[in-house]
Amino acid sequence: MNKRALAIAILSVALAANAASAGGDGAKNPVEDFFKTFNAQPDTFAEYRFLTSPAVQQDAQTRNMASQMLATHLSFLGRPMDALRAFPYRGNSAPESDLPLPSDWRALPASEWISAQAGDYRVVMLNEAHHAPHTRVLTLALLQPLREQGYTHLAVEALVNDGTDPMPSGYPVRKTGIYTRDPVFAELLREALRLGYRLVPYETPNKPGERQQDRETGQAQAIADLLAREPSAKVLVHAGYAHIGEAQQGLPDDARPMAMELARLTGLPVLTIDQTSTRSYETADIDTVGQRLARQFALSVPSVLLSRDGVDAWSYRPGLNDVSVLLPAAPAGQAQRPDWLSLGGKRGVVAIDLTPCAGHLPCLAEARHADEGDEAIPADQFLMLATSEASTPLYLAPGKYRLRLAGADGGTLLDRPLQVPSPDANLPFAKTP
C-alpha cells in the first residue's frame, strides 16, 4: 500500500511510528492500536463508525489523530459542509488593501480562461484541498475542452502507484486510491476514461527515509519521463495543495515543489492553477480571502480575475502560481448538499426514501451504477445522521443504479434498482417516486 493511503496527515503516521518505538516494553499503545484497528475496517462507512466510536473519541490522543481523517471521511460520505466544519481554517487573512477591486479587475469563468491558455502548454496543473470535493469540480469541467485541444493524459496524485492499472475494471474501487473514494473524484476518473484520457499515477513509491524533496522530485520525474517517451503527449495534472508551486515555498524543509522540478527537468513552461491558498471553499462563517472576493465579485461559478486592461491574471501568490481560482461564496446556512454537486448540470436532485434508516442511525444511502460491481465507488452517497435528514436527496445523472441503505452496523436495510430518467426539457430534473 502507498504510504499516504492511510490518512491525510503525514503527521499522524509519524506519531504512530514514534509511539510504536516507544511501546517496545510491551505496554499498551493506544496509537498503534488505533491504526491497527482503522486499517482492519472493510469500507469507508466502517472507518467512519470507528473514528466516531467512544473508544476513539474518549481518548485525547486518538481523538486528535482522528479529527482530520474524520473530515475526509465526511467528504467521502456526502457531507461536504460537515467536512469543512470538522477541519476549518483558522489562519490570518490578507488585509483588504492588498486585494483586487472590481474597479480594476473583472471575473471570468475559470474553465473558459484555462481552456484559452492551455493550447500554449503541454502541462496544466490544478490543485485541490483533500477534504473539499468542490475543488475537484473544475478539473472535471476541463476534461472535455482540453481533450479537444489534444490533451492525452490525466496525471493524478491520488491514484495508487504500485505498477498496476489503478482501474482495471474501468471504474474506481477502494484500491484505486484514498481520495478517489469520494464520489466526485470517482466521477472525474470515469469521465476521463470515457473521453479517452490515459490515467497516470505519479506518486512516489514508499521508501524508508524518504525526504520531502525526494517525493517532489520523484513525482516530477514520473511526469517528465512520460513527456520524453511520448513527444505528442499533453498532460493535465491534478495534485494536492503546494505541489503545484513554481518556487520554493510552502513545503517542509524548503523543498522545491513538483511543478518547479518538472520545469527544471523538462525545460517546459507549466501553467499552474491554485484553488487552495485563498480558501474560497470554506463555509460562510470562516473569513477567508476567497470568501471575501467571491462575494465582492458576485461569483456564481469557479472564476479567475483578469485586469481591466486584459493583461494580467490575478494570483494570490504571484511567482508561486500563475492564477488563483475563486469558488462561489458559500451562503449562510448552506444546505448539507450544495448545488455544486450537480457537477455543472450533469447530475440532478433525486429524491429517495430514507425512512427505513429510522432507528438505524448512522445510516448510509449509496447509489452505484447498475453495470458496476459491488466494490465500485458509488456514483453518490449520503450519510444520514438524524431523522430530520430523511428527505435529503442524492445527485445522480440519468441512468440505472442500485440503491442500498446500510444501517449502523453496516448491514443492508434495503437494496433495490433505481432508475433516473432523463429530465423533460420543460420540467425540473426528474425525481424518483
Domains of the chain: 3-77 (no CATH), 96-324 (3.40.50), 347-420 (2.60.40)
Q: Is residue 242 within 8 Å of residue 250, measured between CB atoms?
A: yes
R_g over Cα of the chain: 22
Question: Going edge to edge, which strands form the sheet with 412-420?
Answer: 380-384, 363-369, 399-406, 412-420
DSSP strand E in 120-234: where? 123-128, 153-156, 198-201
Query: Can you tell me the distance from the alpha carbon of 373 to that of 403, in angstroms, rounded to the nearest whole number?
Result: 13
Q: 135 in helix, strand or coil?
A: helix
CA distances (Å), origin 11, targets 14, 17, 65, 180, 432? 5, 10, 9, 21, 44
The residues near 409 (Cβ < 8 Å, ≥ 6 apart) are: none
Copy the grid coordinates of residue 139. Answer: 478539473
Copy the grid coordinates of residue 183. Answer: 464520489
What does the pLDDT read at residue 190? Answer: 98
Please, which pLDDT band fits residue 90 given cuts at 50, 70 and 90? low
CA-wise closest residue to 381 among 400, 397, 368, 398: 368
- Length in residues, the chain: 433
- In sequence order, the β-bridge partners of residue 399 are 420
pTM of the model: 0.91
Q: Is residue 256 within 8 Å of residue 219, measured between CB atoms?
A: no
Helix (H) or strand (E) holding 279: none
**How much is the average pLDDT of 193-207?**
94
Q: pLDDT by residue (tens digit) across 373-429?
A: 999 999 999 999 999 999 999 999 999 999 999 999 999 999 999 999 987 644 444
The residues near 47 (Cβ < 8 Å, ≥ 6 apart) are: 38, 41, 69, 73
Read off φ and ψ for residue 286, nearest 5 degrees.
-105, 120
**In the chain, pLDDT over 90 holds for what percent of residues?**
80
What does the pLDDT read at residue 330? Answer: 87
What does the pLDDT read at residue 93? Answer: 62
**How much is the average pLDDT of 45-57?**
96
Helix (H) or strand (E) holding 71: helix 60-76
Query: Can you tell me the distance from the alpha carbon of 290 to that of 299, in angstroms, rounded to the nearest whole number?
Result: 11
Return the amino acid letter for 100.
Answer: P
Query: Can you tell me the distance from the alpha carbon of 171 to that of 376, in angstroms, rounded to the nearest whole number?
Result: 7
